[in-house]
Structure formats: C-alpha cells, structure tokens
C-alpha cells in the first residue's frame, strides 16, 4: 500500500457518512491501479449511535480496501495508535471524522504518497478551512492583535504557498501542522514512537487537547522536516455552540493546562524553563522568589493571573471589547496552567497518577 487513510470516530455517524461519500467519489476518479494502492482504516471508539451500520454499509458498497476496528480505551490517541499498528501504507493520512474534503484531496494525497520516499519530508501538514454554521458574533475577533488562535476552531490556513514549519504568514504564526488533516510517513512512527495517550480528547478525564501538537513538537526536536501543503485542503464545520465566549475560554483553559503539563512531562526528558508560562521578554522582570510555591503552584503563576485580571478590570471602563475578551482568554489559559501545576505535584507525591482518580475525588465518577 502507498496510502493509508485513517479516520478515528466517536458518535458522528452523519458526518462520517458524508466523509465516506467524499472519499468513495474521489477514489472513483482514480485509475484502478491507483485505487488498489489506497486503504481506509476506521477505528470506532465505542460509539453508541449507528456508526457501525454506516461503516458496514461502506464496506459492502465499495471496492476500496477497508479495515474496521473498535477500541475499548476511550481517547483519540488510543485509536490513532491502533490504526498506526494496523496500517500498511508508506504514508499515513489522519483525518477528523467531521470534515468534508476538497474535491482534489485524494488525488493530492496519493501524489504525495507516491513521492514521499524520494523526499526528505516526514510530515505533510494540510490546510483546514473553517465553515461557519452560524453567523459570526460581533465579539469574535479572528484578525489582528487580539485575534483568537486558529486552533480554537481547528482551523489551519496559512496561505497558498508551500512552506516548511515553523513559518510566519499573513494569517499568523504556523509552528506545527494540525492533526485534523495531516499525512505522516510510516518511518516516523517506526523510529520515533506514537501519540501520547495522556493528551488529546478522552472520556476518561484526560487533558482534552494538545496530543498532535506535542507529537509534532517532539518531531521538530528530532529535526524531522515538516511541510505545509495548502493544496491538501479540507473544510471543518464550526457549530453554533462553539461560537460562545464560554466555549472559547474553555479551549484556552485546556490549552494552558495541556501545554504546561506536556512541558513538564516531556518525552525527551528536557527541563522546561522555570518560568515557562511567562513570555521571554518579561522573564527578567520577575524576581527569583516568585519561583517559590504555594499549594504546589509557583508564585509567579498567581502573579501572572493577578496582573492579567487587573488589566482586564481596567478595560471594563473602556470601549475596547476585543482587548477585554482577549484578556479573558489569557486569564483562562493561566488558570489552566495553575491547574496543571497542581496536577504535577499530585503526580510527584504519589506513586501512580490517574485522571480517573481525580474525577473520583471531585465526585464526578463513582469509585470502582
């Protein structure tokens, strides 16, 4: 096999059916010899809707090679790692289950798969364009100084030119690809390992996001070349419930928590900067005693939270709502960092850390 297309899914049978239609239609446009070089791997994370019916219907009505698996351990990384184990392609394409494909996606992906072994590129980052399912609220700022990060809405669109990561574009800084639409050579997993299962979406109380970001950051440390490929394009729907201040602040909380956690549990055993949560230009302004801890959390994180909150309060008396909203995101991000610092202390003080144990302590799960 030259190309393995991997889709991990959970309770999105309607969206999955549409994605299958896109794939099967585009594969029909290929020559039969090309189609035989492509396999589809679907991993169901114990969906309770009719996902299995949709998958079986696909298998009965397509000549495409389809491998169907289920995974009992909840979490996107668990499913991805199973798919990696079962895949036989030279190039592995990872797609989210709720996207729609540009009409040339399969053709472009197949072209990359045919040439990947002749190029010194380990990862091809595709383009992800958001499709808004509701009118954009007036408070939403997606451009300029106080813009929301593209990742909040799983977007990844940095222009029409191929570029090696990291790079700057008119649409912001692109440090790494996104797991929503990405192609990775098999050799990368064979030599570098798989996705971390304590990061990413999970029903077991995990960190929610950052699984793909951590993996690509790890690869960048190993000097694996990664290329932004804009012609490899998909469209990601942004539903109305994502277009709320609460949802955006929740994302920033998860981002701050996961980023802080990943830095202090680095798979390469690197030590993060003692003030990693402070921007470089401000670190010299923080006195050394701020590294002391209260309730296992560095003082400088409390100082950071108080400072941003004060600036946010001052903006209550201005008409700059975009700046005020942006500061509220940074407050949520800092609270996430504080939460991660407490979790790290809990892990270090006990022999075994478990997200499930944390949920039991909070009364959100019953002990087994």
Whether 229 has a pLDDT exceeding 70, the answer reads yes
Q: Is residue 368 domain-resident?
A: no
Dihedral of alpha carbons 263, 264, 267, 269, sign? positive
Mean pLDDT of the chain: 91
Residue found by looking up tokens 């990061």 in the block: 199
**Domain end among 205, 240, 275:** 240
Whether 22 has a pLDDT exceeding 70, the answer reads yes
Yes or no: say if 122 and 225 are a contact pair by the CB < 8 Å rule.
Answer: yes
Do 34 and 144 belong to one domain? Answer: yes
CB atoms within 10 A of CB 184: 26
Which structural domain range is residue 347 located in? 251-361
- Arithmetic mean of pLDDT, 266-280: 91
pTM exceeds 0.85: yes
**pLDDT given at position 198:** 87
| Closest listed residue to residue 26, CA positions, set 114, 111, 105 | 105
| Closest listed residue to residue 66, CA positions, set 13, 113, 1, 112 | 1
**pLDDT given at position 350:** 62
Q: What is the CATH number of the domain that holds 164?
A: 3.90.550.10
DSSP one-letter string for 242-303:
GSSHHHHHHHHHHHHHHHHHHHHT-TT-PPPPTTTTS-GGGGGGS-GGGGSEETTEEHHHHH
Do 154 and 278 belong to one domain? Answer: no
Distance (Å) of CA 136 to CA 130, 256, 267, 367:
12, 25, 39, 43
Do 85 and 109 belong to one domain? Answer: yes
78 alpha-carbon distance from chain centroid? 14
**pLDDT given at position 164:** 97
3-state class of 155 per DSSP?
A: coil
3-state class of 186 per DSSP?
A: helix
Do 34 and 143 belong to one domain? Answer: yes
Q: Is residue 310 domain-resident?
A: yes
DSSP conformational letter for 30: S
**pLDDT given at position 33:** 86
**pLDDT given at position 354:** 66
Do 315 and 197 belong to one domain? Answer: no
**Range of 129-143, 246-260, 311-325 with top mean pLDDT:** 246-260
**Range of 137-151, 203-217, 330-344 with top mean pLDDT:** 330-344
- Arithmetic mean of pLDDT, 6-31: 94
**Domain end among 183, 214, 240:** 240
Q: Is residue 343 domain-resident?
A: yes
At residue 333 the predicted structure's pLDDT band, cuts being 50, 70 and 90, is very high
Do 227 and 270 belong to one domain? Answer: no
- Arithmetic mean of pLDDT, 337-354: 79
Where would I find the beta strands (DSSP E) of the chain? 3-9, 38-44, 65-70, 91-95, 100-101, 123-132, 163-164, 167-169, 172-174, 181-185, 226-238, 293-294, 297-298
pLDDT digits (tens, 9 = 90+) for 125-183: 999 999 999 999 988 888 888 899 999 999 999 999 999 999 999 898 999 999 999 99
Do 194 and 96 belong to one domain? Answer: yes
**pLDDT given at position 317:** 87
Rounded CA separation 17/317 (Å)? 50
Query: Helix (H) and strand (E) counts for the chain?
Result: 11, 13
Copy the structure tokens of residue 189: 């997993």
Q: Is residue 145 domain-resident?
A: yes
**pLDDT given at position 63:** 84
**pLDDT given at position 205:** 53
Q: Is residue 245 domain-resident?
A: no
At residue 204 the predicted structure's pLDDT band, cuts being 50, 70 and 90, is low
**pLDDT given at position 339:** 93
């Amino acid at each position: 096999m030259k190309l393995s297309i991997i889709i991990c899914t959970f309770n999105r049978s309607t969206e999955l059916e549409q994605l299958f239609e896109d794939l099967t239609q585009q594969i029909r446009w290929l020559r039969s010899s090309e189609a035989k070089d492509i396999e589809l791997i679907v991993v169901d994370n114990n969906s309770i809707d009719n996902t299995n019916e949709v998958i079986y219907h696909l298998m009965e009505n397509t000549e495409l090679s389809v491998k169907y698996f289920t995974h009992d351990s909840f979490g996107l990384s668990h499913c991805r790692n199973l798919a990696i184990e079962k895949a036989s392609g030279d190039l592995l394409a990872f797609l989210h289950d709720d996207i729609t494909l540009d009409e040339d996606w399969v053709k472009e992906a197949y072209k990359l798969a045919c040439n990947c072994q002749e190029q010194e590129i380990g990862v091809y980052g595709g383009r992800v364009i958001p499709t808004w399912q509701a009118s954009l609220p007036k408070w939403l700022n997606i451009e300029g100084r106080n813009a929301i990060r593209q990742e909040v809405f799983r977007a990844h669109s940095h222009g029409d030119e191929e570029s090696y990561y990291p790079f700057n574009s008119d649409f912001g800084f692109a440090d790494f690809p996104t797991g929503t639409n990405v192609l990775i050579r098999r050799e990368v997993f064979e030599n570098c390992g798989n996705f971390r299962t304590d990061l990413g979406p999970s029903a077991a109380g995990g960190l929610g996001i950052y699984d793909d970001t951590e993996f690509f950051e790890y690869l960048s440390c190993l000097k694996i070349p990664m290329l932004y490929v804009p012609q490899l394009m998909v469209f990601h729907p942004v539903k109305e419930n994502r277009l709320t201040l609460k949802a955006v602040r929740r994302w920033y909380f998860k981002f701050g928590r996961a980023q802080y956690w990943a830095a202090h549990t680095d798979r390469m055993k690197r030590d993060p900067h003692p003030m990693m949560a402070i921007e470089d230009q401000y670190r010299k302004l923080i006195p050394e005693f701020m590294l002391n801890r209260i309730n296992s959390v560095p003082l400088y994180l409390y100082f950071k939270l108080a400072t941003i909150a004060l600036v946010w309060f001052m903006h209550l008396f201005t008409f700059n709502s975009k700046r005020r909203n942006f500061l509220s995101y940074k407050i949520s991000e800092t609270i996430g960092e504080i939460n991660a610092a407490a979790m790290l202390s809990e892990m270090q003080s006990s022999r075994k850390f478990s997200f499930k144990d944390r949920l039991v302590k909070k009364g959100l799960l019953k002990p087994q």
